């Protein structure tokens, strides 16, 4: 049975090419250049020829999650574990002059108190100290017993106040307003307005939003003295944890393992150990005991980051034939003490001669951080409102007007499809023109994203002699379905069912993986999984070839749980029995040719507005999303739904409310910060754009959160004739609009 290995010619170096790929650092994409093989191997095949992928596959971790068995970071409980919590600064701007922990440390059960460095605190909620105690209740007692003396400094929390020359300075000696970029030719753009038949000049403001992950930020640090530690972290990046934790614990990075079995939502906010992780490590190091430090919901609102707000002053002009000829934009990123984020205008649309200035405008609020499609929904909301205003002004159908100014034909196709799905022909072209107090209206918008991958994932597939198959990689599943498609790719390649393969993920001792940000996970991970699976198939094929009439390995077919060639067939178990005692393990690397970059989405919304109360009822939302090869139609549709629902929150309900006098957030809880709930749900139609024939995996999570806000805002205008330019569109804004 054993064949002599053929003498191999010395391999000539494979042709290489240079490509640019996205890499995510703290949730933000950066482009880097890498080298990849020109001819890498077999592809995915046609999108409609798959046996598992591009089908509806139920989540493999579903049964664990619906029965409460799935163990999240928050659920970890270790012997002797202490509970940590954080004391926050109550002032918008202050300096700590003294911390007295004497009384707190005398409370029975309090094991350690650590202080933050005595720096200037620039927002209400900034951490001051942390406590570890035997129960969370006692830890809370200790927080209340710590006496902090503050020197209170002047603060400013609202952008219009912060931009004034005499405003309190967020950072001493620095202007609150920082110029970031100037692009385009202002004189040319201004001259081009002369060619416009209609001009719209308006200001659009989007609010600070909260990620509101149901599992708060935090970790369990299992350190009991000695030279090693395990960190259970609620994170979007398994491999973003050990390095920073090791530094805090004073250990070698190789001795610190992170574990992310299941995690309860991130949306861009969970990379690295964070302030809470720093405190957890320090408390654990001091007590030589495991410490669990999960933020409270209040903490989560005031110190765990948020979506950057935006203030955009836009002016655009269009000809009566529908061509947009010019745009000038002044864009303020409202990121609190952080830099904020906002895609540059004009976003997606072609607008002739354009000019923009971008600024960061600082306030005494905690730093904005990445949130699903950082900077895009803000830019989309403003430009889609602006485009809609222009369309109404020149009396052109908003769909036709958009097509006129969108170069990419994919949008044209998707806009046509969306029009049919929502019933655009039923729409009254006159805004507010429907009779009666309950007025319906429709709107639409488009979105884009990259969604390409990079070469960070290393995947191992092991096949044992009993036929069991394990695919292992350290990646994390945020609820996007990573576990499920990882398993499905291997199962399909080996001709097996989804239950015949097991996956192991969420641990830093496994193969490296990229952090999950910017829709980069699927396009980074799945090519490596596919590569490992192909190599595993070939290793099995080489072993069973002698049992199948000495067929060439690449001729052997793996399908339906059988391995066949030359009219002979083995069951999977029989084939596996031919493997060596230790089984086989293949190692997969990323392949650029199995992924692609660039997605398109359009959203249509229908709303019903009660013009007597200002109440808005979302009636129906349709989102069409392309994404190359859909790995799992069931979870992809769920992601599209999720994008629409989170946008619904941004458009109509959510927003941080800051008190100018106190300098603090007034609504840091679900009682006052309104998330979309079951009663607000419209009929939702998530549509996968199967006209996209790219045989490549592309990330779609960001793409499907971008256009819905614009669609909803424009639907409200179509229903009422009221153009609300500041989010969220609460009933009071409708009523004020109707009165003026």
H-only helix segments in 163-303: 186-192, 242-249, 274-287, 297-303
Q: H/E element holding 65?
A: helix 62-66
> Residue 418 CB: number of other CB atoms within 10 A?
27
The contact pattern for other proteins, residues 21-60, with x = CB under 8 A and - = no contact, is: -------------------------------------xx-
Alpha-carbon distance of 561 to 491, in angstroms, equals: 10
- Confirm or reject binding of residue 480 to other proteins (CB under 8 A): yes
Query: Which segment (5-13, 70-78, 325-333, 577-585) binds other proteins by CB under 8 A?
Result: 70-78
Alpha-carbon distance of 130 to 471, in angstroms, equals: 40
Site for other proteins in 459-478 (CB under 8 A): 478
Nearer to other proteins, 17 or 56 (CB): 56
Nearer to other proteins, 371 or 556 (CB): 371
> Residue 657 CB: number of other CB atoms within 10 A?
12
Alpha-carbon distance of 476 to 497, in angstroms, equals: 23
Query: Which residue among 667, 721, 723, 738 contacts other proteins (CB under 8 A)?
Result: 667
The contact pattern for other proteins, residues 176-215, with x = CB under 8 A and - = no contact, is: -----------------------------------xxxxx
Paired strand residues for 57: none
Query: Which residue among 37, 42, 50, 75 contacts other proteins (CB under 8 A)?
Result: 75
Q: Answer whether 299's CB lies under 8 Å from 125's CB.
A: yes
Nearer to other proteins, 147 or 552 (CB): 147
| Residue 107 beta carbon to other proteins: minimum distance, rounded to whole angstroms | 6
Nearer to other proteins, 296 or 574 (CB): 296
Pairing mode of beta strands 683-688, 616-625: parallel
- Confirm or reject binding of residue 738 to other proteins (CB under 8 A): no
Nearer to other proteins, 73 or 308 (CB): 73
- Confirm or reject binding of residue 115 to other proteins (CB under 8 A): no
Quick check: helix, strand or coil at residue 174? coil
- Confirm or reject binding of residue 681 to other proteins (CB under 8 A): yes
Any idea what DSSP says for residue 436? S
Distances (CA, A) of 10 to 7, 14, 136, 322, 553: 9, 12, 64, 62, 21
H-only helix segments in 496-650: 521-544, 572-577, 633-648
Site for other proteins in 623-662 (CB under 8 A): 634-635, 637-639, 641-646, 662
Nearer to other proteins, 124 or 189 (CB): 124
- Confirm or reject binding of residue 98 to other proteins (CB under 8 A): no
Q: Please work out the total of residues on this chain that contact other proteins, with binding judged by CB under 8 A.
A: 82
Degrees to nearest 5, angle at CA 173 with 171 and 178 = 65
Query: Which residue among 69, 171, 181, 191 contacts other proteins (CB under 8 A)?
Result: 69
Residue whose structure tokens are 């019903």:
608
> Residue 4 CB: number of other CB atoms within 10 A?
5
- Confirm or reject binding of residue 139 to other proteins (CB under 8 A): no
Alpha-carbon distance of 726 to 432, in angstroms, equals: 19
- Confirm or reject binding of residue 1 to other proteins (CB under 8 A): no
Alpha-carbon distance of 484 to 472, in angstroms, equals: 13
The contact pattern for other proteins, residues 216-255, with x = CB under 8 A and - = no contact, is: x---------------------------------------
- Confirm or reject binding of residue 366 to other proteins (CB under 8 A): no
- Confirm or reject binding of residue 619 to other proteins (CB under 8 A): no
Q: What burial class does residue 659 get, using C-beta atoms within 10 Å of its C-beta: 0-12 exposed, 13-18 middle, 19+ buried?
A: middle
- Confirm or reject binding of residue 436 to other proteins (CB under 8 A): no
Determine phi and psi for 503, rounding to 5 degrees: -115, 155
Q: What does the block give as tokens for 392? A: 């109404």
Nearer to other proteins, 160 or 677 (CB): 677
Site for other proteins in 291-320 (CB under 8 A): 294, 296-298
Nearer to other proteins, 512 or 681 (CB): 681
- Confirm or reject binding of residue 264 to other proteins (CB under 8 A): yes
Query: Which segment (142-150, 272-280, 531-539, 623-631) binds other proteins by CB under 8 A?
Result: 142-150
């Amino acid at each position: 049975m054993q064949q002599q290995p053929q003498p191999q010619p010395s391999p000539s170096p494979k042709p290489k090419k240079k490509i640019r790929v996205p890499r995510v650092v703290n949730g933000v994409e950066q482009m880097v250049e890498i080298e990849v093989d020109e001819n890498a191997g077999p592809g995915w095949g046609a999108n409609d020829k798959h046996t598992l992928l591009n089908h509806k596959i139920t989540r493999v971790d579903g049964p664990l999650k619906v029965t409460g068995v799935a163990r999240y970071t928050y659920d970890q409980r270790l012997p002797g574990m202490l509970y940590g919590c954080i004391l926050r600064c109550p002032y918008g701007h202050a300096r700590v002059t003294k911390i007295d922990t004497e009384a707190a440390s005398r409370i029975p059960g309090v094991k350690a108190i650590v202080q933050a460095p005595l720096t200037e605190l620039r927002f209400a909620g900034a951490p001051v100290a942390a406590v570890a105690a035997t129960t969370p209740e006692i830890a809370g007692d200790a927080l209340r017993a710590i006496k902090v003396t503050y020197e209170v400094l002047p603060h400013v929390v609202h952008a219009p106040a912060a931009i004034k020359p005499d405003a309190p300075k967020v950072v001493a000696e620095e202007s609150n307003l920082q110029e970031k970029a100037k692009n385009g030719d202002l004189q040319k753009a201004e001259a081009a307005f002369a060619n416009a038949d209609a001009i719209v000049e308006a200001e659009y403001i989007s609010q600070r939003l909260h990620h509101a992950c149901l599992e708060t930020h935090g970790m369990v640090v299992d350190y009991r003295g000695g030279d090693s530690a395990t960190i259970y972290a609620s994170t979007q990046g398994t491999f973003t944890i050990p390095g920073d934790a090791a530094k805090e614990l004073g250990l070698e990075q190789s001795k610190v393992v992170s574990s992310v079995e299941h995690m309860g939502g991130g949306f861009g906010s969970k990379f690295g150990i964070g302030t809470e992780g720093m405190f957890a490590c320090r408390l654990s190091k001091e007590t030589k005991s495991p410490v669990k430090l999960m933020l409270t919901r209040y903490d989560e609102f005031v110190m765990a980051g948020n979506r950057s707000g935006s203030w955009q002053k836009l002016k655009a002009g269009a000809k009566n034939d529908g061509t947009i000829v010019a745009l000038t934009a002044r864009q303020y990123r409202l990121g609190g003490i952080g830099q904020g984020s906002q895609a540059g205008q004009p976003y997606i649309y072609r607008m002739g001669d354009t000019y923009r200035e971008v600024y960061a405008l600082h306030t005494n609020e905690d730093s904005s951080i990445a949130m699903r499609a950082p900077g895009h929904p803000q830019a989309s909301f403003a430009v889609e409102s602006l485009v809609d205003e222009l369309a109404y002004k020149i009396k052109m159908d908003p769909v036709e007007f958009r097509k006129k100014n969108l170069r990419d034909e994919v949008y044209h196709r998707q806009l046509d499809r969306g029009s049919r799905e929502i019933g655009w022909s039923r729409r009254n072209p006159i805004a507010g023109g429907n009779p009666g107090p309950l007025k319906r209206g429709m709107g639409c918008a488009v979105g884009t994203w990259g969604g390409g991958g990079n070469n960070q994932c290393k995947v191992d597939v092991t096949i044992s002699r009993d036929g069991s198959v394990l695919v292992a990689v350290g990646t994390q599943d945020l609820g996007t379905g990573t576990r499920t498609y990882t398993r499905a790719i291997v199962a399909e390649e080996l001709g097996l069912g989804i239950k015949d393969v097991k996956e192991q993920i969420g641990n830093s001792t496994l193969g490296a993986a990229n952090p999950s940000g910017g829709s980069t996970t699927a396009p980074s991970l799945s090519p490596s999984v596919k590569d490992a699976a192909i190599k595993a198939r070939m290793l099995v094929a080489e072993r069973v070839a002698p049992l199948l009439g000495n067929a060439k390995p690449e001729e052997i077919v793996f399908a339906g749980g059988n391995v066949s060639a030359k009219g002979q067939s083995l069951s999977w178990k029989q084939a596996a029995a031919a493997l060596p005692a230790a089984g086989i393990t293949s190692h997969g690397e990323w392949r650029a040719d199995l992924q692609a970059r660039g997605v398109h989405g359009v959203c249509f919304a229908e709303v019903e507005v009660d013009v007597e109360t200002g109440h808005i009822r979302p009636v129906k939302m349709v989102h069409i999303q392309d994404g190359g090869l859909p790995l799992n139609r069931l979870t992809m549709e769920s992601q599209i739904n999720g994008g629409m629902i989170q946008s619904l929150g941004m458009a109509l309900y959510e927003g941080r409310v800051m008190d100018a006098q106190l300098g603090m957030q007034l609504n840091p809880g679900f009682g006052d910060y309104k998330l979309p709930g079951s009663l607000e749900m419209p009929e939702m139609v998530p549509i996968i754009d199967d006209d996209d024939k790219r045989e490549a995996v592309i990330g779609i999570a960001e793409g499907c959160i971008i256009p819905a806000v614009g669609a909803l805002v424009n639907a409200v205008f179509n229903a009422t004739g009221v153009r609300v330019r500041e989010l969220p569109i609460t009933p009071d804004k409708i009523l004020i609009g109707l009165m003026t």
